[in-house]
């Protein structure tokens, strides 16, 4: 093989190896999925009459979404983004919490009930929470989030909505 061709072939191999190394054997940062849990709130049957009752005839059911994203660095902190829409009066405050198990599981919250900031319901029946808190979700367990009819985390009879959280990302 002529010397120039051999040099060109070596450079091509080195360039390809460099591209492979920069993308990483596992696909590189561009292909990594961010680990997170997400879910859609659905109104419980027990809460349907309490939320959409005589005071609000022909109103739509309550709904919402939640995303929990662990913060990098191996800490037990996570960013939580939660939003709801519910046919209820302006100025109400609603409690919420995250639990192990699926909706309806009678398990304790993953943090103290006072650690979950209240949801303030606005004029249009919507509310939102964006917070960072100390909470750890196990990638090999089921989790759910409840929103309560009052400003206190209590038992399942007071749950207005529940969301089963689905994990996405590397385990």
Q: What is the DSSP string of 138-152?
A: -TTS-EEEEEESSSS
The larger pLDDT score, comparing residue 41 to residue 18, is at: 41
Question: What pLDDT score does 89 carry?
Answer: 84
Mean of pLDDT over the chain = 79
Read off the pLDDT band of 155 (50, 70, 90): confident
Decide if pLDDT at 12 tops 50: no
- Is the pLDDT score of 7 beyond 50? no
On the question of pLDDT at 9 being above 80, the answer is no
For residue range 79-97, list pLDDT tens digits in order: 999 999 998 888 999 999 9
Tokens (6 digits) for 166: 């689905």
Q: For the segment 20-48, what is each residue's pLDDT rounded down to a tens digit?
A: 343 444 444 444 567 899 999 999 765 54
Q: What is the pLDDT of residues 41-77, one digit of tens each?
A: 999 765 544 554 333 444 568 999 999 999 987 778 9
What residue ranges do the domains of the chain occupy?
1-32, 33-168
Please say if the pLDDT value at position 164 is more than 60.
Answer: yes
pLDDT tens digits for range 116-143 = 999 999 988 999 999 999 999 999 999 9
- What homologous superfamily is domain 33-168 in, according to CATH? Superoxide dismutase, copper/zinc binding domain (2.60.40.200)
Confidence of residue 2 (pLDDT cuts 50, 70, 90): low
Long-range contacts: 126-129, Cβ < 8 Å, 24+? 126/83, 126/84, 126/85, 126/86, 127/83, 127/84, 127/86, 127/94, 128/81, 128/82, 128/83, 128/84, 129/80, 129/81, 129/82, 129/83, 129/96
């Amino acid at each position: 093989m002529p010397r120039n061709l051999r040099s060109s072939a070596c450079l091509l191999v080195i360039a390809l190896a460099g591209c492979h190394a920069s993308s990483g054997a596992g696909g590189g940062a561009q292909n990594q999925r961010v680990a997170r849990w997400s879910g859609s709130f659905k109104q419980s049957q027990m809460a349907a009459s309490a939320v959409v009752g005589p005071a609000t005839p022909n109103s739509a059911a309550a709904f919402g979404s939640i995303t929990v994203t662990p913060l990098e660095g191996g800490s037990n902190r996570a960013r939580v983004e939660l939003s709801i829409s519910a046919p209820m009066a302006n100025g109400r405050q609603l409690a919420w919490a995250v639990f192990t198990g699926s909706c309806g599981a009678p398990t304790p919250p993953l943090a103290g009930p006072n650690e979950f900031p209240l949801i303030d319901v606005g004029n249009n029946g919507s509310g939102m929470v964006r917070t960072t808190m100390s909470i750890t979700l196990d990638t090999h367990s089921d989790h759910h989030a409840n929103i309560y009819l009052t400003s206190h985390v209590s038992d399942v009879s007071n749950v207005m909505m529940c969301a089963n959280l689905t994990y996405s990302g590397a385990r």
